[in-house]
Structure 1
Amino acid sequence: MATDSPVTVERTDGLAVVTVDAPPLNLFDGPMGTGLVAAIDELERSAPRAVLFRFEGKTVTGGVDVRVFEPLDAAGATGLFTALVTISQRVAALPCPTVFAAHGTTLTWGFELALACDLILATDKAKFGLVEATVGLSPAMGGTQRLAERAGTGRAREFVMTGDLYDAATMHSWGVVNRVLPVDGFDGEARALAHRLSSGPTVAHAVTKNVLRSYLDGGVAKADADVPALAGELFATEDLRNAVQTFLTIGPGHSVFEGR
């Protein structure tokens, strides 16, 4: 990844921290798109045990640099949006827990990226919006459908069609944001949770994600059909075997997982 990229990846003890830093507003533009793809390439090439997405600056993101849209015709826009949806799909498919930390205003592509993650953390000062309607557009990175997945289609219609901003408490009440935390110490809390997930049973977490995908594809019946084989495969992992022996010899809460 280029050293001057607005997106960097830092690894510590199995945790990959993806940081976006393109002041002042972390807008999506050509370099941002290139940086995000390069970061995801790295995560897929050498899989971490958990990923934290975090942003520098007062604002998580002010959205897209509208100059990106100016030269596009319908075919060009379709190509761009295909690439954007692919970013969300690749993040969602990572075989490890993913955490998004929203410390402030999070608009358009940033919120859509958050919705592709497993957990969303927010400060009590954070606000969220899909404001594409202000330029006659509808969200094109998967935000509408992933918001509907978490909050229902009625909420998604309201959120997208009004283009309003919604605070973290509201998004928590909708089931979109997992935890609302104070501003003070937020980055440390987000890192601590991500580190906790990265020290857990990585393969089991991947199975959990696959079971939920089965549920979303075909409801409880599909998940019920898939879960025996998915969970059964865990008995081939070192983590499960070692944890069972630790439980039997020492007791619960003492297992150390290696992600294998």
Structure 2
Amino acid sequence: MPSADLSWDGPLAVITLDAPPLNLFDEAMVADLRAAISSVARSASARGLLIRAEGRAVSAGVDVHVFEPLDPRSAEALWRDWFTMIHELESLPIPTVFAAHALCLTAAFEVSLACDLLLAASSARFGLVEIVVGLTPSMGGPQRLAERAGPARARELVFSGELYDAATLERWNVVNRVLPDDGFADAARAFALRLANGPTRAHAATKAIIRTQLAGGVRAADEATPALSGALFGTSDLRGAVASFLRDGPGKATYTGR
């Protein structure tokens, strides 16, 4: 069985980290996770993605054995290679949700930050603890934390190497929602499935608008929005939803997901 397994729940792609006991990120985990993300990217039927984990931890982070043979040149090459996976995940034109049910460290935390939304169980804890081996988080964690929580919070979390609970990171706008431990897996899947059953092309436009704002500011997003929104009027989703709204009333509009 792969360390990161891809399954389907209707239109929802589900990638499950499952390499007991700690779901460590080694070469096999990264290769399997990369392959699963690429499969979702190639799929014509994927309308949402949920990344979750089995076991007592989401992940204890990178297997330190990966670092042992590295020198500066090979380490740079490793991080550039692993960033291609992060960027492919971020570029998916569908809603992506990460569900953290327990301890979520280093690489897994950085993968979660590359997803659109991060759901956490109330007892989940998070950390970028690379300082224990004299390293800085190198899969995009600091910059994506700064994007969500601001630069001072990002520096605090990385400099301290401490573990942070879900409630704290929700206050910092890193975690989107904290859900009860009891029933967390089902609740997270239901939430992701609801997004996957939504208007996929509209979600893709929303992602593009927000990414443009982050890269170029509000005016850049304003410039991009008319074309992105205008294109939606050529989709069966919007045409069908408008017709059903006018026919059946508010709250009863329907669409097919593309």
Of residues 174, 185, 204, the one that matches 2:183 is: 185
- What residue number does 2:78 align with? 80
Greater Cα shift, 139-148 or 41-50 = 41-50
Contact 1:84 1:140 survives alignment (8 Å) = no
Q: What are the residue-to-residue correspondences of 1:219-258 with 2, within 5 Å?
A: 219-258=217-256
Aligned to 2:163: 165
1:54 aligned residue: 52
Q: Shift of residue 133 of structure 1?
A: 1.0
Is the Cα contact below 8 Å between 2:201 and 2:232 reproduced in 1?
Answer: yes
Q: For the Cα contact (< 8 Å) 1:64–1:109, is it kept in 2? A: yes
| Residues in 2 aligned to 1:84 and 1:142: alpha-carbon distance in whole angstroms | 10
Distance 2:253 2:14 in 1: 25
List alignment gaps of at least 5 residues for structure 2.
none
Note the alpha carbon deviations across 1:234-257, whole angstroms, 9 max, x for none: 001000000000000001222332
CA distance in structure 2 between the aligned counterparts of 1:110 and 1:177, rounded to whole angstroms? 14
The alpha carbon displacement at 1:30 in A equals: 1.1
CA offset at residue 15 of structure 1?
0.5
For 1:207, give the aligned amino acid. Answer: A
The one-letter code of the counterpart of 1:110 is A
Look up the equivalent residue of 1:24 and give its one-letter code.
Answer: P
Letter in 2 for 1:129: G
1:191-249 CA-partner distances (Å, limit 9, x unpaired): 10011001100000000000001100111111111101110000010000000000000
Give the SS at the match of 2:221: helix
C-alpha distance in structure 2 between counterparts of 1:200 and 1:254, whole Å: 13
Distance of 1:78 and 1:27 partners within structure 2: 20
CA RMSD in angstroms, aligned pairs only: 0.8
Q: Distance in 2 between matches of 1:123 and 1:12?
A: 21
Normalised TM-score (structure 1): 0.97
1:26-175, aligned counterparts within 5 Å? 26-47=23-44, 48-175=46-173
Alignment of 1:3-42 (within 5 A): 4-42=1-39
What number of residue pairs does the alignment pair up?
A: 257
Structure 2 Cα separation of the partners of residues 130 and 208 of structure 1: 29
Q: Secondary structure of the residue that 2:8 maps to in structure 1?
A: strand
CA contact (8 A) 1:59 1:106 kept: yes
The 8 Å contact of residues 38 and 88 in structure 2, kept in 1 or not, is answered as no
* TM-score normalized with structure 2 length: 0.98
In the aligned structure 2, how far is the partner of 1:149 from the partner of 1:85? 17
One-letter amino acid of the structure 1 residue matched with residue 153 of structure 2: R
Distance in 2, Cα, partners of 1:221 & 1:61: 39
1:164-191: CA deviation from partner (whole Å, max 9, x where unpaired)? 1100000000001011011110000001
- Give 3-state SS (helix, strand or coil) of 1:155's partner: helix
Match for 1:17: what amino acid?
A: V
Q: Distance in 2 between matches of 1:128 and 1:118?
A: 17
Partner of 1:208: 206
- Which residues of structure 1 form unaligned runs of 5+? none
2:7 partner letter: E
- Give the Cα separation in 2 of the matches to 1:258 and 1:80: 41
Amino acid corresponding to residue 148 of structure 1 in structure 2: A
Question: What percent identity do the matched residue pairs reach?
Answer: 56
Q: Secondary structure at the match of 1:236?
A: coil
